[in-house]
Structure 1
Amino acid sequence: MIDESRMKNKNEGRYSEANMAVAYILKDFAMKLKLAHNAEDLDSALELTVKNVMIACSHQDKLLTENEVSEKYAFFTASKLRNMRARNKGPNYHKMGNTRNGRVLYKMSDVESWIARHLVSTSQL
């Protein structure tokens, strides 16, 4: 059994999206192991699990330009991201170069974390 408490991000007190995705993928694999009737079923389950883990891990730390962020998330325009950076708001970013024109990159996981932190929960009727 996977101990989800060990996956807690110590810096922010939240679960890493990549770690949670991998945990659920591995839980699914454990279930498929129990149901596997032959070596072919096992090989198929293992191949799919490896593929899904690689996808989950690679997507989280991908670096995106502000234009790529705005393409992926319609509510972030490039100018809105620039404005938020100027006001020290918005998702964390990496600035490559010390000049004013240095390239700005965002980790996909930082953008998704920022979005998750701004979730507003409405009461249910």
Structure 2
Amino acid sequence: MKKLLLLSALGAAMALSSGCYSTQGGHDQFGVPFSTDTIESRYERPVAQVFAAAKEVLAFNGTLVSENLINNSLEAKVDNKRVWVRVDEPETGVARIHTQVRGPAGGADIKVASEIDKQIALKLSTMR
């Protein structure tokens, strides 16, 4: 009876701790679903300029894996972590950028997302 209860509790814990999360590229991946992994920033710049800055920062920090020009998203590998960046225009003249980072096991890494976001902001400040 105790073994059955222990196995049931273990199975329930595994089921609740694993799952899927949505990426900024529009895909679903296996990983820890209930963790903060995305940083949002807004800039008074054109979407094309913010997208170009994000592309340069990701290429500088790691390897650019994919570039989707339809939904303005990028995917890269930085320090064995997967990074997704999506740029959109919520209102005229304002670009919004979402930076998402996940580790190799699917866990969130908000510190790296913050660093990438900060580097994109610095790159935008040096662009004209």
Q: TM-score, normalised by structure 1?
A: 0.34
More strand by share: 2
Q: TM-score, normalised by structure 2?
A: 0.33
More helix by share: 1
Relative contact order, CA 8 A, sep 6+: which one is greater? 2
Structure 1 or 2, whichever has the larger Rg, is 1
